[in-house]
Structure 1
Amino acid sequence: MQRAVVLGGSIAGLMAARVLSDHADDVVIVERDGLGPADTGRPGVPQIKQLHVVLEGGRLQMERWFPGLTAELIADGAVPSDGDAIEHYFDGVRKVPVAEETTIGLTRPFLEGRIRDRVLGRDNVRLVPGLVRGLLFERGRARGVRFAPRGAEDAKETETLTADLVVDATGRSSRLEHWLRDAGWQPPRLDRMRIDLRYTTALFRRGDELPGVAVVQSLSSPAPAGTPQQDFGVVAEVEGGRWMVVLSAYGQPPNRDAATFVERVRDTPGAPFAEIAACSLDSDIETYQMADSRRRTFTGLGRFPAGLVVVGDAFASFNPVYGQGMSSAALHASCLSAFLRSGERLDEPAWGYFRRAEVVVDAAWGLSTLGDLAMPHVTGPYPRGYRFTSWYVEKLGIASMTDAEVNRRYLAVAHMREHPRVLTGPSTLWAVARTLRATRRRAPVPPQRSGSGSVANRLRSTPAS
């Protein structure tokens, strides 16, 4: 492959560019925001200052493509945690901890800046600042991109870049449908699920409160129709000795008032939130709204241009409460690698890539939308077998409160390390039934906190290479 062009310098685009650097002589990233300050983020990403999560499945893929990245992030201030240092609450009751669960607390600009440095440090990767205006098509395939150089976005003239492969990483606002229709192609099916989510993030200065705790999550049962839904809350210790707090609400207008936000943090179920609310606020209040989750399905198309693939939020964008975005992007990059290594021809549609990536998308979509459909304001579409699936997932959730093995399997799926099918295997079904029988005979006892375990130490000692 002589040249590949990646549209968008998000984490999805950067991961795709890293994979392509092993297969193309020249990899060009077209990014409207250019480089920008490494630790402040790109201004074209309105949610850049919101809390982002790197699930373990995504971290492992990032480590695969950037060996030593985990150790580098921790050395620069990211906060590793595992086991008892991660507290999950449901309706204010703490779930049993799982020793194998790990995470890293950091801000998105911090992570994105270091991945970008690694990608642009490769000899055959370069970034061109510009606004994408459309795709070039020729003889049944994508042949490149039209873009307006940075500083000339309003000019009618555009420049072009030809390519053997074009990767759309322009996010959930991708204009892929318009580009395809304009060239006479049928666009992929676009599914939407309206969730009407509003979320708010702020930083607090960390002191000596909550020793041994690095991450706290609070979820609540769906409220009855017509009554306000309790905030969902997530707290993570991030670089610079700070707590980053995000509150998610359905249907409620976002509010940037500091006193109101602190009060909402204090009222979030789970004891740690009240302690964090007593800390000093260390940032402005940042808000963001997300009307719907969406995904595109490509494999049902009868024809599609060769030389074109789609990654990240341009492929599927999920409810951010579940933290699947960046990890999905990392998995899409690995699907792209598998496709390129398979020897499939680039002058034919990339069905091999789309089949692989849709396994990732379907798993993440099924997990997140199942939770969304439990909300009374979400009206579907409902998948086949929804009633039984939702009944079983409710029982699974009850069992995961007190059974460490059931919770371990659930978290492996939630962290995108395992496919959701493991939750319906015979051994999991038996474990759920056994635990439910036991809970009828005794009330669950919330686990006590203890010191951090060995997995965080293993993360700290990941060798750089």
Structure 2
Amino acid sequence: MKRAVVMGGSYAGLFAARVLSDVAEEVVVLEADDTIGADGVGRAAPQRRQLHALLAMGRAQLGRWFPGLTAELVAGGARLGEGDAVRYYVDGRLKAPVPGTRMLGVTRPYLESAVRRRVAALPNVRLTTGQATGLVLERGRVRGVATAAGEVLETEFAVDAMGRSSRLGSWLEGAGWERPPVDRMRVDLGYATGTFRRGDELGELTVVHSGPGPATGYQPTHLEPGGLVAVEGARWSVVLAGYADLRPGPDPEEFRARMRRAVEPLRTVADVCEMTADVTTYRFAESLRRGYGRLGRFPGGLVVVGDALASVNPVYGQGLTLAALEANSLAAHLRSGADTTEPAWGYFRRASAVVGAAWQLSTTADLAQPHVTGPYPPGYRLLRWAGDRITEASIVDAEVGATYLNVVNMMEHPRALTRPRLLLQAARALLSEAGRDTP
């Protein structure tokens, strides 16, 4: 194709631009927020300042599309944690270590700005400030993107990477097409991120994640849910999360007090480390996914990525990895020889498999919260019971823990947790644990 236009220049849009650079003579990335600076943060996306997780699959795709970038990030101060440097707690219990675990400690602004530099350096990619205000559709396909400056960028292919607030559905409806169906699950999550000066108080520890589990009914009855990550600039990035009335606020003393009710590494940081920035908060009302692939008709030369396609509870850290896997879906669609002037059903089919896995994992977990009222999937009670047993077994058994971690890190589909062999291993682990606890 001669030209492709990506509407939105955050993480998902940048990955899409990288994919399109292999097949288009020119790729134009429209970024509406002209306040983005060297740190990659703009006013249009305040959640970028929150702690983000780059799951194992996300790091793998970062290396695929941007070879050597992980090493560059580490050279610039990011931390790559391995083995005992990565800790997971459930109900306050430290999970059995999983050999081979590697996690990258980095802030989203630092990560996103590095990706942006790589994309901007591609000879056929142009990043420009501008806001898409509509599509030009002719004969059932995209012909152009209208901008707030009053110009029309002619294009053969357009990507909606405009985030949760995307107005693509309204644009389509206004042009005589259908809006996509939308699935929603209200979660009412609040989270807050604090930044602390990092010394040697926790040694080589890089990542800590702590959350409630089956023993407490997934409620923070004894410990605050949260996590910390060693990031660039010799800093700790600490996140605390809570639902409904338990959402954390911006007060620094309250933040420290909540950290002191968390697992030991967070308590240590609260006690000995200097806070170096204001606590920033963010509220996430609901998960949603837009079913473009379920429509009966759709314009040719148009795809949707990132939060514009699906936005799931951020407490599970899936967003950045979903963006990369959707870029993979786009690459596979383009490599398949599909006619890019026709509706991209092949892309939406591939992307829906990825989004569906993330949606299944996050919403099934969210339904354990008493204020989340559904919709419940078929067989939910059995899924919940089996999930609880797998979670319990993953605390004490490295084999179960490895599969559990692979699913959480999006390296495997959630159905991996229902394999008979894994269920048998989980049963053995729980029986052995019960035997040890019996006087």
TM (norm. structure 2) is: 0.96
CA RMSD of aligned residues (A): 1.7
Comparing 395-404 and 207-216, the one that deviates more: 207-216
Contact 1:66 1:118 in 2 (8 A): yes
1:317 to 299, 311, 330: 311
Aligned equivalent of 1:2: 2
Please report how far the alpha carbon of residue 36 of structure 1 lies from its aligned counterpart in structure 2 after TM superposition: 3.0
Please report how far the alpha carbon of residue 226 of structure 1 lies from its aligned counterpart in structure 2 after TM superposition: 11
Comparing 60-69 and 424-433, the one that deviates more: 424-433
Distance 2:4 2:377 in 1: 37
Aligned equivalent of 1:395: 389
Q: Deviations over 1:209-265 (max 9, x none)?
A: 111311111101476799979632010000011110000110135421111111011
Q: 1:366 to 1:227 in 2, by over 3 A?
A: closer
Q: 1:230 to 1:316 in 2, by over 3 A?
A: farther
Contact 1:142 1:166 in 2 (8 A): yes
Distance 1:291 1:169 in 2: 20
**Aligned length in residues:** 435
Whether 1:117 and 2:108 are equivalent positions in the alignment is: no
Contact 1:38 1:114 in 2 (8 A): no
Q: State the SS of the aligned residue for 1:44.
A: coil
Aligned equivalent of 1:290: 284
2:400 to 386, 399, 406: 406
Contact 1:200 1:285 in 2 (8 A): yes
Which runs of structure 2 are paired with 1:436-455 in the superposition (5 Å)?
A: 436-443=430-437
Q: 1:226 to 1:249 in 2, by over 3 A?
A: closer
Contact 2:141 2:341 in 1 (8 A): yes
Aligned equivalent of 2:238: 245
Structure 1 unaligned blocks of 5 or more: 150-157, 445-465
Contact 1:191 1:296 in 2 (8 A): yes
Which runs of structure 2 are paired with 1:142-157 in the superposition (5 Å)?
A: 142-149=142-149
Contact 1:27 1:124 in 2 (8 A): yes
Contact 2:85 2:207 in 1 (8 A): yes
Comparing 349-358 and 292-301, the one that deviates more: 292-301
Whether 1:367 and 2:351 are equivalent positions in the alignment is: no
Distance 2:248 2:380 in 1: 31
Higher relative contact order (CA 8 A, sep 6+): 1
Q: 1:102 to 1:224 in 2, by over 3 A?
A: closer
TM (norm. structure 1) is: 0.91
Distance 2:135 2:232 in 1: 40
Whether 1:193 and 2:185 are equivalent positions in the alignment is: yes
Q: Which amino acid in 2 is paired with 1:26?
A: E
Q: Deviations over 1:85-106 (max 9, x none)?
A: 1111111111111122211011
* Off by >4 Å, runs of 4+ in structure 1: 222-230
Comparing 349-358 and 425-434, the one that deviates more: 425-434
Q: 1:255 to 1:409 in 2, by over 3 A?
A: same
Q: Deviations over 1:48-76 (max 9, x none)?
A: 11001111101111111111111111111
Please report how far the alpha carbon of residue 39 of structure 1 lies from its aligned counterpart in structure 2 after TM superposition: 1.7
Whether 1:130 and 2:130 are equivalent positions in the alignment is: yes
Contact 2:298 2:343 in 1 (8 A): yes
Structure 2 unaligned blocks of 5 or more: none
Whether 1:56 and 2:56 are equivalent positions in the alignment is: yes
